[in-house]
Amino acid sequence: MAVTLEPDRGVYPDSIGAVTVEEAMPVSATNSKIIYSALKQCGVRLVSALPETWLVHLIRLADEDPEMTLVRLAKEEEGVGISAGAHFAGVKSAMLMQNHGFLAAINGIVSFAHLYKIPLLMLISYRGTFGERDPWQTQGGNVTEPLLRALCIPYSFLNSSDSVEQRIHQAQTLAESSLQPVALLLTRELMWEE
């Protein structure tokens, strides 16, 4: 039986019975709310994103929040320009992306954000590491940290709900004071409910 989404019901039918979108994707809604709340506490009022499994709740929260502007991207590199425009307009922003999206955005990060000293707060779902089930994610996981180091982009891990607020605040502060990209890697430990 083909699995299709029935938008009006919000369920994935299968041969056993229907499951909700949340049940089909065990991404932590609780930890996503903690991350989202920490972004808002830092004054972030604009987020850019492409759909991605680990980011589903963060994107939904931004979309439903009248105090937040969600910019849906066609490709991740566009987020660099969106964040630059927000910075010049005095609006704090964050880029939500998968690590493969980070790889796709490197040209904009290097030739625009670094060159013109644009603070970028990047929250990157750190796919392809220990526990990864999807083979197409593994190569991105292998090169994410080496590329962050090679580009001299400070980064830290979001791996516990207890440290999310502090780390997001510290990352936002560093991005603004140094006028450079800063990355937070969203780990499986934080984002996934097994």
Q: What are the structural domain ranges in the chain?
A: 26-191
The whole-number pLDDT of residue 141 equals: 79
> What's the predicted TM-score (pTM) here?
0.85
Which of 111, 182, 106 minimizes the C-alpha distance to 147?
106
The whole-number pLDDT of residue 15 equals: 41
Measured over the CA atoms of residue 144, residue 78, residue 73 and residue 55, the dihedral's sign is positive
Which of 2, 102, 117 minimizes the C-alpha distance to 49?
102
CB 148 within 8 A of CB 180: no
The whole-number pLDDT of residue 194 equals: 65
The whole-number pLDDT of residue 25 equals: 59
Render pLDDT for 121-168 as a digit per residue (tens, 0 to 9): 999 999 877 777 776 777 777 889 999 999 999 999 999 999 999 999
Which class in CATH covers the domain with range 26-191? alpha beta
Exposed e or buried b for every residue in 48-58, given b needs 16+ CB within 10 A?
bbbebbbbbbb
SS (H, E, C) 19-82: EEHHHHCCECHHHHHHHHHHHHHCCEEEEEECCCHHHHHHHHHHHHCCCCEEEECCCCHHHHHH
The whole-number pLDDT of residue 50 equals: 93
- For 165, counting Cβ atoms within 10 Å of its Cβ (0-12 exposed, 13-18 middle, 19+ buried), the class is middle
Which of 156, 146, 145, 160 minimizes the C-alpha distance to 184?
156
**Beta strands 69-72 and 120-125, pairing class:** unpaired
Residue ranges of the chain with per-residue pLDDT less than 50: 1-23
The whole-number pLDDT of residue 72 equals: 97
